[in-house]
């Protein structure tokens, strides 16, 4: 299972995200998945979006009145297969109780729909 999670992290990291202007990958956070939610278009989210939170944070929301957690959507990860691979990796990590490492901008320079967008995710 651990090898599968590591492979998923490598696959996800190779096709992830294009950085928006002004955003800076400047932090990583490790933790176990405490929540993983599929978000839908009728709820006002970009289609094929999902959000997750870690038991370790982050401590503050990405934007004022935003959510303390992360999002993966077509806004931040354009490739649908990469989004599916990330979701599969996060689901496996949640089910097994394994930790993940998330690379993000903790200064709020890369937000998506009120949550931190991720630069990369890997299984630990």
Give 15-28 pLDDT, tens digit per residue. 444 445 556 889 99
Tell me which DSSP letter residue 57 carries.
B
Q: Which domains does the chain have, with CATH numbers?
A: 2-123 (2.40.50)
pLDDT at 16: 44
pLDDT in tens, 70-110: 999 988 888 999 999 999 999 999 999 999 999 999 988 99
Q: What is the DSSP string of 3-47?
A: HHHHHHHHHHHHT--PPPTT----EEEEEEEEEEEEE-GGGTSPT
Structure token digits, residue 124: 């630990």
pLDDT of 124 strictly over 90: yes
CB 68 within 8 A of CB 60: yes
């Amino acid at each position: 299972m651990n090898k599968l999670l590591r492979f998923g992290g490598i696959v996800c990291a190779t096709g992830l995200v294009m950085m928006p202007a002004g955003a800076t990958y400047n932090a990583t956070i490790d933790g176990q998945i405490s929540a993983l939610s599929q978000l839908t278009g009728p709820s006002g989210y970009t289609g094929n979006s999902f959000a997750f939170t870690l038991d370790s944070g982050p401590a503050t929301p990405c934007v004022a009145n935003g959510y303390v957690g992360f999002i993966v959507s077509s806004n931040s990860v354009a490739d649908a297969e990469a989004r599916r691979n990330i979701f599969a990796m996060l689901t496996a990590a949640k089910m097994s109780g394994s930790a993940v490492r998330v690379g993000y901008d903790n200064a709020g320079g890369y937000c998506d729909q009120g949550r931190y967008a991720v630069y990369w995710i890997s299984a630990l």
